Amino acid sequence: MSERIGLIAGNGQFPVLFAKSALSCAREVVAIAVREETTPELEKYVQKTYWIGVGELKEFFRILKKEGLKKVVMAGQIRPAHIFDENISMDGDLKRFLKKAKDKRAGSLLGEIAAMLRKMGIRLLDSTTFLKGHLTPRGILTNLKPAPSQWQDIRFGASIARRLARLDVGQTVVVKDKAVLAVEAIEGTDETIRRGGALAGAGAVVVKVSRPRQDMRFDVPFVGPGTIDSLVAASCAVLAMQAGKTILFEKDACLKIADENNISLVGI
């Protein structure tokens, strides 16, 4: 192994995908995993794993210093809703950090963490490092093309989603017949899809975008088979993703599920 990279691992398959790709590029990965979020599968693809609680900010920084890491990547979401969970034990460092934060939006909190890392001499890398081949291409990806009315909803939904993303509220909207049925906030993409689909009945269009001037170091839009399963469960008809800014994990599996359930996937 050559270069050592720290991996701040959140939930889902994003951390696993990054670790596999880094391993294939002969990088040694030291993971800091969150007990409430990270899949144990990650341990198969990293050289060392530290497990911490979501409220242990002091321990997080202690590990970084102990390992002498100079480059780290954030991959996978750590749900902001933990802030409001009374069952989560927060150390003094995290309580002070949250008290001083200008607001509790994900982008704001992650930006402040990035600034703290920079002061420690740690460089936060683009989270798509080693993953350029997994970014969503532009165009229709599935066998089924969106109908003309669905293209109208895609354009309408994209304009709404971009406004939400600009405000750092969320990155996903569910629309039907140019009506907004659900917008993403703190609950995450899958729950937004289910909520919007329940209101729409069959045929809703889901649009997922990145923020304007998206900081590719954190919170990059991520779609995988689990997302497509949510579309199926909600009887949605289309998922439009921002091309070049959305990671499409296990693309073949995503397309297979979508094609089998008559769902259109589109890079916009």
- Amino acid 70: pLDDT: 93
Helix (H, G, I), strand (E, B) or coil at 178: coil
- Amino acid 253: pLDDT: 96
Query: Strand 222-223 relative to strand 48-52: parallel, antiparallel, unpaired?
Result: unpaired
Domains of the chain in start order, with CATH, are 4-124 (3.40.50.20), 135-267 (3.40.140.80)
Q: What is the pTM of this model?
A: 0.81
Average pLDDT of each block of 10 consecutive residues along the chain (268 residues)?
86 92 90 96 96 96 95 89 87 93 84 92 90 93 97 98 91 97 92 96 96 78 94 98 94 97 98
- Amino acid 187: pLDDT: 87
- Amino acid 268: pLDDT: 97
> What are the residues whose beta carbons fall under 8 Å from the beta carbon of 158, sequence distance 6 or more?
207, 209, 240, 268
